Structure 1
Amino acid sequence: MKAGLNAAPPSLWKRSLNVRTAMLYLFPSILLFAVFIFYPMFRTLYLSFFLTDQQGNAALFVGLENYAYLLESPEFLNSIKATVLFVLYTVPIGIILALFLALIANEKLKGIGFFRTMFSSSMGISVAASSVVWLFLFHPSVGMFNRLLHLLHLPQVQWLLDPEWALISVSISTIWLNTGFAFLILLGGLQNIDEYLYESARIDGAGYWYQLRRITIPMLSPTLFFIITISLINAFQTFGQIDILTKGGPSQSTNLIVYSIYREAFINYQFGTASAQAVFLFICILIVTILQFKLGEKKVHYQ
């Protein structure tokens, strides 16, 4: 009995030592998260309840008035609409295109490595560089797209100047830019599927489409779940190509929420309403991610 009582304190001391050692190793990561994530997040939430001066300092507490102003603002409601449309344009088409390219590149054909490199090449191009290229492609007079339309005797399109086409044009450039990353991840998922499953299916007389529906898609579902989640988050946070190609125009047709935050904070110097928009965007992304995990993960087939 005494031996047991004497053994307890060393055990607690050892556990305390392990905790302190673990915290010591985690301290650099905790410090980085605190400086670059937690502090900006809480600072943004704090400023969303204030009117601020041009330096971004809180000047007058207004409570929820910034949020009420946003929900009544036609410009912000238009930003929500543009953001939702942008997500619907880019995410499904981008994932389907990346999956199609990954299925092609996964075939064991001579020289397929060259095409794998080409399909994933957009990963190595920055948003700024790719946007400048697309800016020339969309040019109304010397752009390649309008020249092709001219050769086909079709009416030319003001890609970035027409409110009906601007958001579609930016979506096309975004799909091209993001396809390389999605393609590479999906190709890695395809190559991790056990070849034995396909051999067994072929012996049973299963065709390509049956294998795709019953083997490939279910076994690839964890990778698809990851790509869909990441693509949704990235689509809500798109900024660079909007700033370079359209600057939110024409007629606010491409003024996504992220770009609206930038304009409100660094052009209009209204940091309070910009912070409220940032909080709103965070809540939207959080809700979408939770729904994705609640609904989408049920269809994921883990090995």
Structure 2
Amino acid sequence: MDSAQSLQSAHAGHTAHAAGALRASRTLRSLRSIKRRDNFTGYLFLLPCFAFFGVFLFYPLAKSVYLSFQITNPRGEVAAYAGLDNYASLFASGAAFLATLKATVLFTLYTVPAGIVIALVLAVMTHAKRPAMKAFQYAFSLPVVISAGTGAAIWILLFHPSAGMLNYFLGLLHLKPVFWLADPKWALVSVSMMTVWMNLGFNYIVLLGGLRGISDDIYDSLKLDGPGPFRSAFGVLIPLLSPTLFFLLIVSVIGAFQTFGQIHILTKGGPMDSTNVMVYRIYQEAFVNFRFGSGSAQALVLFAVILALTLAQFFWLEKKVHYQ
């Protein structure tokens, strides 16, 4: 009897174990089915985004890679296979390529630091939650809604050699007028001044949001401790703003290397190619000279330069970012 009962007990335990394993297997299959269904639903919602990027980003990138190895006719049709000749001719140009690269780097150095510093100063001065600050915040944010064409039309009037406001103020200071857009020494500086003003709205909004994200307790402790404005700025606020500044630096550098609108309207790359940055040279090569193969090669070189600069910034500067 004891052996029979033990066998029945063992059989019942085995049956219960098998039933439990079956239920666990069914539960696992059900969870996998739910996960697959959720993944399918998620990808279904992302499909319009993938289609948009595929049409307007990935396909043009692949087309540029393809055309960079070809010689094209004025209609953009492939005429012959060029191999690496387009890249070789670009680097063989030597002085012309270096002059374009120098103008682009100088334009970036003129616009990025100045734009961030000015926006940071304005954000620090107006971040207090007071009704009177609303008007200043609105005024400093306004350039973000102005297009490059509208901004260029405004600054053309300011840069006018005889009727412009800038030379008028120089005259009040008994200084000689400056031919802002016609002098090779001043043309790039002039375009940079307009670009700093145009980017001020975006930079100001981002930095103001970063300052608003800092706890009020920190501001209160700074008022009580009284370490001084410079020590408060460089010892507390800037380290806390470092993620915002890091993001803004990367975006600003990429934007500076891609600047086109104001240069096309104000100077068209002149005078004497002093404002002929890389993007405008690509435009001239592809849509003025109709050498789409060479223009595509230059666009890919520009992409490589921007990618290298972005990776360098992540490698060297992200270590100094203090994430909260």
Question: Which TM-score applies when normalising by structure 1?
Answer: 0.95
2:4 is aligned to none
1:29 aligned to 2:27?
no
Preserved contact between residue 136 and residue 142 of structure 1 (Cα < 8 Å): yes
1:68: how far off? Answer: 1.1
> For the residues of structure 1 that align with 2:259 and 2:218, how far apart are their CA atoms?
39
Aligned-residue Cα RMSD (Å) equals: 1.7
1:175 is aligned to 196
1:212 is aligned to 233
2:302 is aligned to 281
2:320 is aligned to 299
Percent of aligned positions that are identical: 49
Once the two structures are superposed, residues 133-168 of structure 1 have per-residue CA deviations (whole angstroms, 9 ceiling, x without a partner) of 111111112111222222322222111011111001
1:17 is aligned to 37
Structure number with larger C-alpha Rg = 2
1:288: how far off? Answer: 1.0
Letter of the structure 1 residue corresponding to residue 289 of structure 2: N
2:157 is aligned to 136
1:22: how far off? Answer: 2.2
> For the residues of structure 2 that align with 1:38 and 1:246, how far apart are their CA atoms?
32
Question: Which TM-score applies when normalising by structure 2?
Answer: 0.89
1:206: how far off? Answer: 2.4
The one of 186, 189, 193 equivalent to 1:165 is: 186
Preserved contact between residue 198 and residue 211 of structure 1 (Cα < 8 Å): no
1:56 aligned to 2:76?
yes
1:87: how far off? Answer: 0.3
1:179: how far off? Answer: 0.7
1:10: how far off? Answer: 4.1
1:209: how far off? Answer: 2.3
Please identify, of 14-23 and 143-152, the stretch whose mean Cα deviation from structure 2 is larger. 14-23
Once the two structures are superposed, residues 186-212 of structure 1 have per-residue CA deviations (whole angstroms, 9 ceiling, x without a partner) of 011111111111322333342232221
> For the residues of structure 1 that align with 2:252 and 2:59, how far apart are their CA atoms?
26
> For the residues of structure 2 that align with 1:246 and 1:57, how far apart are their CA atoms?
31
1:7: how far off? Answer: 5.1
1:88 aligned to 2:100?
no
> For the residues of structure 2 that align with 1:14 and 1:21, how far apart are their CA atoms?
10
2:7 is aligned to none
> For the residues of structure 1 that align with 2:191 and 2:131, how far apart are their CA atoms?
35
Preserved contact between residue 248 and residue 259 of structure 1 (Cα < 8 Å): yes
> For the residues of structure 2 that align with 1:174 and 1:51, how far apart are their CA atoms?
35
1:242: how far off? Answer: 0.2
1:194 is aligned to 215
Please identify, of 115-124 and 165-174, the stretch whose mean Cα deviation from structure 2 is larger. 115-124
> For the residues of structure 2 that align with 1:201 and 1:100, how far apart are their CA atoms?
18
The DSSP-based 3-state class of the residue aligned with 1:120 is: helix
> For the residues of structure 1 that align with 2:232 and 2:167, how far apart are their CA atoms?
41
> For the residues of structure 1 that align with 2:42 and 2:131, how far apart are their CA atoms?
50
> For the residues of structure 1 that align with 2:293 and 2:71, how far apart are their CA atoms?
5
1:270 is aligned to 291
Please identify, of 103-112 and 1-10, the stretch whose mean Cα deviation from structure 2 is larger. 1-10
1:116: how far off? Answer: 1.3
Please identify, of 201-210 and 111-120, the stretch whose mean Cα deviation from structure 2 is larger. 201-210
The DSSP-based 3-state class of the residue aligned with 1:193 is: coil
Letter of the structure 1 residue corresponding to residue 144 of structure 2: M
Please identify, of 230-239 and 134-143, the stretch whose mean Cα deviation from structure 2 is larger. 134-143
In structure 2, runs of 5+ residues without a counterpart are 1-17
1:8: how far off? Answer: 5.0
* Residues 150/222 of structure 1: CA separation in 2 closer, same or farther (3 Å cut): same
